[in-house]
């Protein structure tokens, strides 16, 4: 099997594996947070931090890179 064929099979597999690990990890974190005293509010707070915080951080980093 040629090296190009190996990469053609390897990279999609690694992409699927990465997404599965990331999603599974977030799922476990949300389940653990739900078992705390805050219950669903802990999950809502983390979800809001992810929804608002990640794009905000990306915009901040992007604006800093434009200055350089």
With bands split at pLDDT 50, 70 and 90, how would you rate the model's confidence at 67?
confident
The rounded distance, in Å, linking the Cα atoms of 14 and 23 is 14
Q: Helices (H) and strands (E) in the chain — how many of each?
A: 3, 0
* Nearest residue to 42 via CA among 31, 52, 56: 31
Q: State the residue for tokens 């389940």.
A: 31
Q: What is the pLDDT of residue 9?
A: 94
CB atoms within 10 A of CB 21: 10
- Decide if pLDDT at 51 tops 80: yes
With bands split at pLDDT 50, 70 and 90, how would you rate the model's confidence at 68?
low
Q: What's the whole-model pTM score?
A: 0.75
Would you kindly state where each structural domain of the chain is located, as residue ranges?
Answer: 3-67
């Amino acid at each position: 099997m040629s090296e190009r064929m190996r990469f053609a099979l390897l990279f999609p597999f690694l992409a699927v594996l990465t997404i599965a690990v990331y999603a599974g990890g977030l799922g476990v974190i949300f389940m653990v947070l739900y078992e705390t005293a805050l219950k669903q509010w802990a999950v809502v707070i983390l979800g809001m931090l992810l929804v608002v915080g990640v794009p905000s951080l990306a915009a901040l980093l992007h604006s800093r890179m434009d200055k350089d």
